[in-house]
């Protein structure tokens, strides 16, 4: 079974530049998540989609971050403009919608962003 | 905010059982206990979850106390590849929209 695919694996940009990350979840997974993980901390949920609708974006800095999941499959997360404090690993995850295994998330390997 | 408390780090000898504790004293009746681990440079990986009964799968065992205020993840025969950060998470059951909130976890170092 193919896992969650993310690209790019690494990205280095200068502050005030823009960057976009792409995620392709496991086939058939209705729920998709973007997490931000700063070095030394646990992952922090930025946004959660159920199919192509946003379920929770309460932790997303909406003045600079945006995300979309067109057609309820793959998703992009964009930062514009980037700040130094956005340096982190951005993780995408997906999960089944069936009741008994909600909460079992499958994560990609992440995109490591360095803002200089 | 995370609703669990874990020691920041633990050591374990290779081949021995690793017992990772988690305190979740404010857990409510409909909340499950989930365990994930994160190996260096990888995304977190699901290990196991439970509500009130002990659970076992091919990766680990989960022991939940009768009052559900704490739990222990057991890796029966730790190997060097089990070195990782282990996260204990409580999450309400039922809704697909319920969030999985990570704390800082326990860094388990398996020593040769």
Q: What is the pLDDT of residues A26-69, one digit of tens each?
A: 998 889 999 999 999 999 999 999 888 998 999 999 999 999 99
pLDDT value of residue A28 = 87
Q: Would you call B107 an interface residue with chain A, using a CB distance cutoff of 8 Å?
A: no
Q: Is the pLDDT of residue B4 over 70?
A: yes
Is B100 in Cβ contact with A105 (below 8 Å)? yes
pLDDT value of residue B94 = 63
Q: Is the pLDDT of residue B97 over 70?
A: no
Q: Residue A1: pLDDT band by 50, 70, 90 thresholds?
A: low
Q: Which residues of A touch B93 (CB under 8 A)?
A: 99, 102-103
Q: Which of B30, B51, B85, B96 to mutate to test the interface with A (most CBs of A within 10 A)?
A: B96
> Could you write out the three-class secondary structure of A65-111?
EEEECHHHCCEEEEECCCCHHHCEEEEEEEECCCHHHCCCEEECCCE
Q: Residue A86: pLDDT band by 50, 70, 90 thresholds?
A: very high
Question: Are B35 and B73 contacting, i.e. CB atoms less than 8 angstroms apart?
Answer: yes
């Amino acid at each position: 079974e193919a896992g969650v695919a993310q690209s790019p694996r690494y990205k280095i940009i200068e502050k005030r530049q823009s960057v976009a990350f792409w995620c392709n979840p496991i086939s058939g997974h209705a729920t998709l998540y973007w997490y931000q993980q700063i070095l030394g901390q646990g992952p922090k949920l930025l946004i959660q989609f159920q199919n192509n609708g946003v379920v929770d974006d309460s932790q997303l800095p909406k003045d600079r971050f945006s995300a979309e999941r067109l057609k309820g499959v793959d998703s992009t997360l964009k930062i514009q403009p980037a700040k130094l404090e956005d340096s982190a690993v951005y993780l995408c995850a997906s999960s089944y919608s069936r009741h008994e295994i909600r909460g079992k998330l499958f994560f990609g390997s992440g995109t490591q962003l360095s803002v200089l | 905010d995370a609703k669990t408390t874990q020691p920041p780090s633990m050591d374990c000898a290779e081949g021995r059982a690793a017992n990772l504790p988690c305190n979740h004293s404010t857990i409510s009746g409909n909340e499950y206990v989930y365990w994930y681990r994160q190996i260096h440079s990888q995304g977190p990986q699901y290990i196991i979850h439970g509500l009130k009964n002990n659970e076992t799968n091919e990766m680990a065992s989960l022991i939940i106390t009768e009052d559900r205020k704490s739990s222990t993840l057991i890796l029966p025969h730790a190997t060097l590849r089990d070195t990782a950060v282990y996260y204990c998470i409580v999450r309400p059951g039922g809704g697909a929209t319920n969030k999985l909130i990570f704390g800082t976890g326990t860094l388990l170092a398996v020593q040769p």
